[in-house]
C-alpha cells in the first residue's frame, strides 16, 4: 500500500480513483500547512498539490517521497531541482485547466471592452452613465497570442467566432500547424507592434523571466491591451508602468508573485485584477483532480512518465504510445506463456516513436514486472532487465514498410532446457484508440487491448469458437467482442475474446484441453 498525500483543496474524484484501486492509502487535508502535513506523514509516496509551495523543507520531511504531482500546468512553486537531487519526480497535468483559463481571457477582454465591472456598481447606486461607459467591440481587432500551447490554442479557437485576425508567437510551432489553427506566426516585436490585444501564455522559467518588457511595450499601439493569465514573472511591471502612462496601454491581470492576501504591486497599473481565478472553475478542478490521480496511478502501475518535468524526457512523446507499449508487452507476455522464463525482448519503434525508444522501455518493463520501481528512468529499466537475465534490443527499422507510429514487441522465452518460443505483437494508435494489428502471423486484427481478454490459438476447424463461447457461458461470462482470423497459411486460427469479467486459470486450462489449443491465456489489459 502506497500513501498518497493530497495537500490541497481538490475535487473528490482523485481520492475516489485511488480508493477504487485498493492499493493506496489517501490522506487529503487542505487546511493544515504543507510542512506540518509532511512531518505528520513521512511515509508519503506521492504528493498532490496545486499552488502550494513545495520547498526543500517539505521534500526533506517526506523521506519516502517518490513523486509530486502538480494538479495544473505551472510548477514554479515546486523546487524541481532539489526534488531531482532527492530522486523525486515532479509531474504536471498540462491541459487540465486550459479551457478554464482560455475562457477567462475572453471574459476579461469583454468585461474591459464594455466596462462591465464599473457599470454594475454605478447602476446599483442609481446612476445612469451610458455615455461614460461607451465601450469597444472586439470584432475586427487584431489579437496576439504569445505561446501556442494548450491554453493559447484554445484561446485562438474561442476567438474564431469573433471576426478577429489572430497572430501568434511560439518558436515550437510550425507554419503548417499555425495555419491549421488560422493563426499567422510573427516574431515577438512585430506581434506587439501590430496587435490591439496581446494575451500571454508562457511558463515562467529562466528563459522567459522578464521576457515581456519595455522594448516590446514601447512599440505597442496607443490604447492596446495586455492580458496576463500566465505567470507574473514573465512581465516587467516597471517597464509597463512607464509606457502605460505614455500610450494608455490597458492591463488585465490574474497572476502575482505570491498567491496570497495583501496589497499587490500592480494595483496602480492593472485595469482589472483577479485573485488568480484562471483555473477556478468546477470543471477545471475536476479535470485537474482526475488527471492528477490517473497520471500518478499510471506512473506507479505502468511506468508512464510522459509528464515528468524534472527529468530529461523528450518533448513530443504522446503518453498514449507509452500506454500502448505497456499493453502490447502485457499481451505478448501472455502469448509467449506467462510461466516461461524470458530470454530476450526485442522492440521496433516506427515513425515519430523512434527518437523515444529509450523512454518507451519504462512502460515495457513495468508491464513485465511489478517488482520494477517505476519511479526510475530508462537506464534503471535496462539494468533491471539485466539483473533478471533478460537481454533487450531495440532494432533498426525499415520505414519503407509503412508502419507509421507503430510498436512491435518480440519475446523469446525458454521452454524446457533447450527449446525456445518466440511471440510477436504489433500495435498503433488509431483516432486516439489503442489498436493491436498483429499477433504472430495473424494479421489485421484491429482490436483494442483493454479490459478482460481471453486468447486461444488452435488448428483451424469448424465449431471451435462455439465451444469456447459455450464454456464461457457455463461460467456466466459474457462475450463483448470477438476476433477470429486465420493465419497467413490458413492452418491455424486465433480467437481473441473481450469478456466482462476475469477468467480463472482453471477455466482457461479446461477450454485449452477441450479445443486442443496451441496457446491459451487470460489477461486484464
The DSSP-derived string for 104-122 is: HHHHHHHHHHTTHHHHHHH
Assess whether 360 and 428 both reside in one domain: yes
Shared domain for 129 and 56, answered yes or no, is no
Q: What is the CATH number of the domain that holds 412?
A: 3.30.1330.90
Reduced to 3 states, what is the DSSP secondary structure of residue 261? Answer: coil
In this structure, the answer to whether residues 226 and 122 fall within a common structural domain is yes
Say whether both 77 and 132 belong to one domain.
no
Residues 472 and 427 in one domain: no
Q: Look at residue 325 and tell me if it is in a domain.
A: no
Give the CATH number for residue 156.
3.40.50.720
Q: Please indicate, yes or no, if residue 331 is contained in any of the structural domains.
A: no
Q: Do 413 and 468 share a domain, yes or no? A: no
CA distance 40 to 62: 9
pTM greater than the 0.75 cutoff: no
Asked, for residue 21, whether it belongs to a domain, the answer is yes
CATH, residue 518: 3.30.70.260
Q: Number of structural domains, the chain? A: 4
Q: What is the pLDDT of residue 51?
A: 85
Nearest to 384 by CA among 424, 421, 345: 345
In sequence order, what DSSP letters do the residues of 462-515 get, joined into one string? TTHHHHHHHHHHHTT--EEEEE--B-TTSSEEEEEEEESS---HHHHHHHHHHH
Residues 375 and 409: their CA atoms lie apart, in Å, by 23
Are 524 and 422 members of one domain?
Answer: no
In a domain, 500, yes or no: yes
Q: Answer yes or no: do 27 and 110 share one domain.
A: no
pLDDT of amino acid 378: 78
Mark whether 245 and 191 lie in a shared domain. Answer: yes
Q: How many CB atoms neighbour CB 316 within 10 A?
A: 10
State residue 314's pLDDT score.
58
Q: Which of 381, 414, 443 is where one domain is finished? A: 443
> Are 364 and 470 found together in one domain?
no
In a domain, 466, yes or no: yes
Specify which residues 419 forms β-bridges with: 415
Whether residues 508 and 520 fall in one domain: yes
Residue located via cell numbers 485547466? 97
Please enumerate in sequence order all residues whose Cβ is within 8 A of that of 302, keeping only pairs 6 or more positions apart, or say none.
Answer: 322, 323, 326, 363, 366, 367, 374
In a domain, 334, yes or no: no
Domain that holds residue 64: 2-96+284-302
Per-residue confidence (pLDDT) for residue 313, from 0 to 100? 54
Same domain membership, residue 371 and residue 463: no
Residue 431 has which C-alpha cell? 483516432
* In a domain? residue 335: no
Residue where the block lists cell 498567491: 259
Q: Three-state SS for 321?
A: helix
Q: Is residue 147 part of a domain?
A: yes
Q: What is the mean pLDDT of each run of 10 residues along the chain (525 residues)?
A: 94 94 94 94 96 94 96 88 89 90 97 96 96 95 94 94 95 82 95 98 86 96 97 95 94 93 95 94 94 92 80 68 92 92 95 89 86 66 88 90 90 88 95 92 90 94 94 95 85 93 94 94 89
| Strand spans (E) along 21-107 | 24-28, 44-49, 67-70, 89-92
Amino acid at each position: 500500500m502506497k500513501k498518497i498525500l493530497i495537500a490541497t483543496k481538490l475535487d473528490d474524484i482523485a481520492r475516489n480513483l485511488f480508493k477504487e484501486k485498493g492499493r493506496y492509502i489517501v490522506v487529503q487535508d487542505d487546511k493544515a500547512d504543507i510542512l506540518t502535513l509532511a512531518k505528520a506523514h513521512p511515509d508519503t509516496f506521492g504528493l498532490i498539490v496545486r499552488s502550494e509551495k513545495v520547498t526543500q523543507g517539505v521534500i526533506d520531511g517526506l523521506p519516502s517521497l517518490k513523486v509530486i504531482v502538480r494538479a495544473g500546468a505551472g510548477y514554479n512553486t515546486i523546487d524541481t531541482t532539489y526534488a531531482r537531487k532527492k530522486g523525486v519526480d515532479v509531474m504536471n497535468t498540462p491541459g487540465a485547466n486550459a479551457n478554464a483559463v482560455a475562457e477567462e481571457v475572453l471574459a476579461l477582454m469583454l468585461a474591459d471592452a464594455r466596462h462591465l465591472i464599473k457599470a454594475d456598481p454605478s447602476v446599483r447606486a442609481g446612476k445612469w452613465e451610458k455615455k461614460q461607459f461607451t465601450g469597444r467591440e472586439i470584432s475586427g481587432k487584431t489579437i496576439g497570442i504569445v505561446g501556442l500551447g494548450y491554453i493559447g490554442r484554445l484561446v485562438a479557437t474561442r476567438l474564431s467566432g469573433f471576426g478577429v485576425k489572430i497572430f501568434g508567437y511560439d518558436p515550437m510551432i510550425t507554419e503548417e500547424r499555425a495555419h491549421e489553427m488560422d493563426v499567422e506566426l510573427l516574431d515577438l516585436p512585430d506581434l506587439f507592434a501590430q496587435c490591439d490585444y496581446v494575451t500571454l501564455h508562457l511558463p515562467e522559467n529562466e528563459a522567459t523571466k522578464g521576457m515581456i518588457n519595455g522594448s516590446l511595450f514601447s512599440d505597442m499601439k496607443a490604447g492596446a491591451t495586455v492580458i496576463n493569465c500566465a505567470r507574473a514573472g514573465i512581465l516587467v511591471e516597471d517597464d509597463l508602468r512607464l509606457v502605460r502612462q505614455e500610450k494608455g496601454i490597458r492591463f488585465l491581470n490574474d497572476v502575482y508573485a505570491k498567491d496570497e492576501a495583501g496589497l499587490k504591486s500592480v494595483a496602480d497599473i492593472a485595469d482589472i485584477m483577479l485573485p488568480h481565478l484562471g483555473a477556478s472553475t468546477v470543471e477545471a478542478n475536476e479535470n485537474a483532480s482526475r488527471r492528477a490521480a490517473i497520471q500518478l496511478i499510471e506512473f506507479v502501475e505502468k511506468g508512464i512518465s510522459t509528464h515528468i518535468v524534472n527529468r530529461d524526457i523528450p518533448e513530443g512523446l504522446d503518453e498514449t504510445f507509452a500506454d500502448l507499449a505497456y499493453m502490447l508487452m502485457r499481451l505478448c507476455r501472455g502469448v509467449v506463456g506467462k510461466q516461461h522464463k524470458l530470454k530476450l525482448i526485442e522492440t521496433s519503434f516506427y515513425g515519430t516513436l523512434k527518437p523515444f525508444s529509450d523512454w518507451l522501455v519504462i512502460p515495457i518493463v513495468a508491464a513485465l514486472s511489478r517488482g520494477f520501481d517505476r519511479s526510475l528512468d530508462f537506464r534503471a529499466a535496462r539494468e533491471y532487465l539485466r539483473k533478471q537475465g533478460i537481454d533487450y534490443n531495440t532494432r533498426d527499422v525499415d520505414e519503407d514498410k509503412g508502419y507509421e507510429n507503430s510498436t512491435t514487441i518480440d519475446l523469446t522465452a525458454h521452454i524446457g532446457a533447450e527449446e525456445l518460443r518466440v511471440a510477436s505483437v504489433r500495435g498503433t494508435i488509431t483516432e486516439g484508440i489503442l489498436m493491436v494489428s498483429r499477433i504472430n502471423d495473424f494479421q489485421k486484427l484491429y482490436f483494442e487491448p483493454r479490459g478482460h481478454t481471453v486468447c486461444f490459438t488452435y488448428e483451424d476447424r469448424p465449431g471451435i469458437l462455439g465451444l469456447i463461447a459455450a464454456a464461457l457461458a457455463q461460467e456466466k461470462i459474457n462475450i463483448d467482442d470477438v476476433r477470429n482470423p486465420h493465419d497467413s497459411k490458413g492452418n491455424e486460427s486465433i480467437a481473441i475474446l473481450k469478456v466482462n469479467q476475469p477468467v480463472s486459470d482453471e477455466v482457461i486450462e479446461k477450454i485449452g484441453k477441450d479445443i486442443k489449443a496451441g496457446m491459451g491465456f487470460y489477461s486484464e489489459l
